[in-house]
Structure 1
Amino acid sequence: MTNIPEEKTLDSSITLLQEGFPFLHKRMQQFNSDIFKTRLLGEEVICIHGPEAAQVFYDTSKFQRKGAIPKPVQKTLLGEDGVQTMDDVAHRHRKAMFMSLMSKASINHLLAQCDRAWRAYVTKWVNMPEVVLFEDVQEIMCLGACAWAGVPLKPTEVRQRAQDFTAMVDAFGAADMRHYRGRKARSRTESWVGGIIEQVRKKKLHPDENSPLYIVAWHYDTAGKLLSKKMATVELINLLRPIVAIAYYVAFSALALHKHPEYLERLRQPDGRFREMFVQEVRRFYPFAPFLGARVRNEFDWGGNHFKKGKLVLLDVYGMLHDPRLWEKPELFKPERFANWQGSPFDFIPQGGGEFELGHRCAGEWITIEVMKQALGFLVNHISYEVPPQNLYYKLDRMPTYPQSGVIISNIRRI
């Protein structure tokens, strides 16, 4: 057995928060190794990198998700005991519910609702001196997601709900006021969504039987029991919140378009092929998820290293997306790299890897790609605008991150 390189530290939790996204990859480079040990929150952790590591990481005979996600993240971003924390039959059963909502018809319905919201906001924008794109897109995504899900949303509460969904996301890499705001936002959102679930179950609200609201509200677990109101609330939020979070990617798409205007005409092509390449490169190039965690289910050996049962293991997501062994000149923004891309489920993992149906890969990845393509289509084909001087810098030591100005656009006109 080989000795795993080990960071000599009492605890690296504060350093992780200070360094942000590059934390794992930086140490992989320092150790010249795709595996090393460190300590986080008082616990020894093994960190791994690379497609082979990802394939092992998503092997459910070797790893489990139970006990891997810290409670602070569950209390803000994910909700407690949701699908992301489950394993085996229970996970497959719950995941199947999510996957049933990822059909082509369902995604098209979501796109239609988002299209309505985009058009309404464009009408508003042409009469405004400037718009903070990141903030308004949160509202567009919230409107689209709720209309798709069958969740009633009053016009007067759109901004608050969108901000609360975003605050939950914004809290995952923080231990300061952002974390506090995320917890408060989750409390408000769970109270709101829980009330809607209760209305459905008391037959006071009658959503379409194919709607996400109806399907989640009347979902039964593997024991044949109706999900508790609390659990149904968590899972319905797990459908809505990630759609609102696409606003991060839309802001980065606008930033990429501003920095690379040479791609504008190709993005306007009606077949949309280049638009998908551009979207994939945005997902690779700009930071979204720093790493993912799982615990060793059964002891095993891999790569000359021994993994003990219960050990927490982190997969270096950010580092893999910027690894020159996987991506030619990864420091460059090059959508063309996806023209003939033949990747596996284990090398391009901006939202996690593995197989969709049975594994832990993000069920909403298809939605993310299609909603991003639609957003990009509006930016290049439906409006013209200017990008005034502003601070477009994004910090890698902030998780999650986004352009600091929120991407301000002005002089907006319809095309």
Structure 2
Amino acid sequence: MENQMPREEGFDHSFGLLKEGYNFIKNRSENLNSNVFETRILGKKAICMTGEEAAALFYDATKFQRTDAAPNRIVQSLFGKDSVQTLDGEEHKNRKALLMSVMHQESITNLLEITSNQWEQSIDKWTKMEQIELYEEVKELLCKVAFKWIGAPLHENEVKTMTKELAAMFESPAAIGPAHWMGRTLRNVIEKTVQQMIQDTRDKKVQYPKDSVLHKFAFHKDVDGQLLDAETATVEVINMLRPIVAIAIYINFTVLALLQFPEQKEKLKNYPDYAKMFVQEVRRYYPFFPFVAAKVKSDFTWNGYDFKEGTLTLLDLYGTNHDPQIWDNPDEFQPERFANWEGTPFSFIPQGGGDYYLGHRCAGEGITIDVMKVSLDYLVNKIEFNMPEQNLDFEMDDIPSIPKSKIVLSHVKRINTQ
């Protein structure tokens, strides 16, 4: 039996989306007392969903498609044209297999060793500085990590430029006007740089290690057995680089959590297994990406509601991670909730839901967790610092949201363990 889907009245709610950011879907879901509702965005009908059951539906490839779903401004600045996030079917499986092929244990161990070495080098620098903006410093640290991991280490004079270009991709999609256009421009610049690397390795002008990310991506073949065109290979290499730099957002929130919940530091020092629980709770509790988009593949009915082919559908990531039907006391910071956590791939979705290999869950989620754990160890056990007075507020209408001060640390010192 078909029911009328709860609907938000009004001609268009694009402004509300920008104004409320991470809380846009959550607020309306609560007001309408429904985990699914209809609204209008950019003048067109859109369906918004939240919660575990909705996430399981959203990641059903027979019901939804990613092709042409994400707004062009997101594709042009964040994902890139014809990226894995915009594909379906066999093309998506082929491309996702490429991304997952570099997520094996040896590759991840190498990444974490590089991360630890970069923390060591950065601390050497920070101890000579009166104060630092952690967000900006960690972006540079992770940019060095990312390029070295793919097999193309940066020269020191390239770091700031490359960091700015990669960060602009995830800092600008929700921006309006010049900030957004700058993000698109900087993406174009770094695409040219990486594409030249791809072409150089194909032309054998530069020999990157055969087991490196760059070499694998340069010579990957599509579903038809043809080399990916250089532009597409470039987009996917950037899909390795950009998310690593974006972990800086989580690391900023890690420090904020240590400050807001000081009792956590002793638990981290005393219980080795606590670090992963803490990292997972940072990812659940603080905002990262607000929602993901798809389009209805063909007409179907779910829970009595009619979904029409081609309708834009948004799944609420932030709201699902704060859903009281999934989480006890969702607005409290409680890492212990992950001690014996038995959730599903659709209940905890800070970086998307579903299956890594066949679905659209972020291929780099495991990397994110591991890099955060390495960074947390440095922040808790290997350095000490002062926190000068600063504005640590963050806004839920800023996408991505980070503390306004970008976490200023002063008088960074190594902890003497002898």
TM exceeds 0.5?
A: yes
**Which whole-Å CA distance do the structure 2 matches of 1:107 and 1:323 have between them?**
32
Judge conservation of contact 1:172–1:400 (CA < 8 Å) in 2. Answer: no
Mapping of residues 187-226 of structure 1, within 5 Å = 187-226=188-227
**1:44 is paired with a residue of what secondary structure?**
strand
User: Which residue of structure 2 aligns with residue 143 of structure 1?
Assistant: 144
**1:22 is paired with a residue of what secondary structure?**
helix
Task: Look up the equivalent residue of 2:262 and give its one-letter code.
Answer: P
Evaluate the alpha carbon distance shift between residue 270 and residue 109 of structure 1 in structure 2; reply closer, same or farther with a 3 A threshold: farther
**2:341 is paired with a residue of what secondary structure?**
coil
Gaps of 5+ in 1: none
User: How many residue pairs align between the two structures?
Assistant: 414
Task: Look up the equivalent residue of 2:47 and give its one-letter code.
Answer: I
Task: Look up the equivalent residue of 1:303 and give its one-letter code.
Answer: N
User: Which residue of structure 2 aligns with residue 265 of structure 1?
Assistant: 266
Evaluate the alpha carbon distance shift between residue 409 and residue 57 of structure 1 in structure 2; reply closer, same or farther with a 3 A threshold: same
Task: Look up the equivalent residue of 2:319 and give its one-letter code.
Answer: G
User: Which residue of structure 1 aligns with residue 359 of structure 2?
Assistant: 359
Task: Look up the equivalent residue of 1:80 and give its one-letter code.
Answer: K
% identity of equivalent residues? 46
User: Which residue of structure 1 aligns with residue 306 of structure 2?
Assistant: 306
**Which whole-Å CA distance do the structure 1 matches of 2:245 and 2:47 have between them?**
32
**Which whole-Å CA distance do the structure 1 matches of 2:43 and 2:228 have between them?**
34
The normalised TM-score by structure 2 is: 0.97
Stretch of structure 1 that moved more, 206-215 or 319-328: 319-328
Mapping of residues 7-406 of structure 1, within 5 Å = 7-269=8-270, 271=272, 273-406=273-406
**Which whole-Å CA distance do the structure 2 matches of 1:389 and 1:348 have between them?**
34
Offset from partner CA, 1:126-160 (integer Å, 9 cap, x none): 11100111000001111111101012411101011
Judge conservation of contact 1:292–1:317 (CA < 8 Å) in 2. Answer: yes
Runs of 4+ residues deviating >6 angstroms: none
**Which whole-Å CA distance do the structure 1 matches of 2:367 and 2:374 have between them?**
11
Task: Look up the equivalent residue of 1:360 and give its one-letter code.
Answer: H
Task: Look up the equivalent residue of 1:334 and give its one-letter code.
Answer: Q
Task: Look up the equivalent residue of 1:290 and give its one-letter code.
Answer: P
User: 1:298, CA displacement in angstroms?
Assistant: 2.2
User: Which residue of structure 2 aligns with residue 410 of structure 1?
Assistant: 410
Judge conservation of contact 2:132–2:409 (CA < 8 Å) in 1. Answer: yes
Judge conservation of contact 2:146–2:244 (CA < 8 Å) in 1. Answer: yes
User: 1:18, CA displacement in angstroms?
Assistant: 1.2
**Which whole-Å CA distance do the structure 1 matches of 2:148 and 2:298 have between them?**
43
Stretch of structure 1 that moved more, 372-381 or 319-328: 319-328
Judge conservation of contact 1:148–1:211 (CA < 8 Å) in 2. Answer: yes
User: 1:265, CA displacement in angstroms?
Assistant: 2.1
The normalised TM-score by structure 1 is: 0.98
Evaluate the alpha carbon distance shift between residue 326 and residue 270 of structure 1 in structure 2; reply closer, same or farther with a 3 A threshold: closer
**Which whole-Å CA distance do the structure 1 matches of 2:18 and 2:384 have between them?**
38
Offset from partner CA, 1:250-299 (integer Å, 9 cap, x none): 0000110111121112212473x101000000000100111111111122
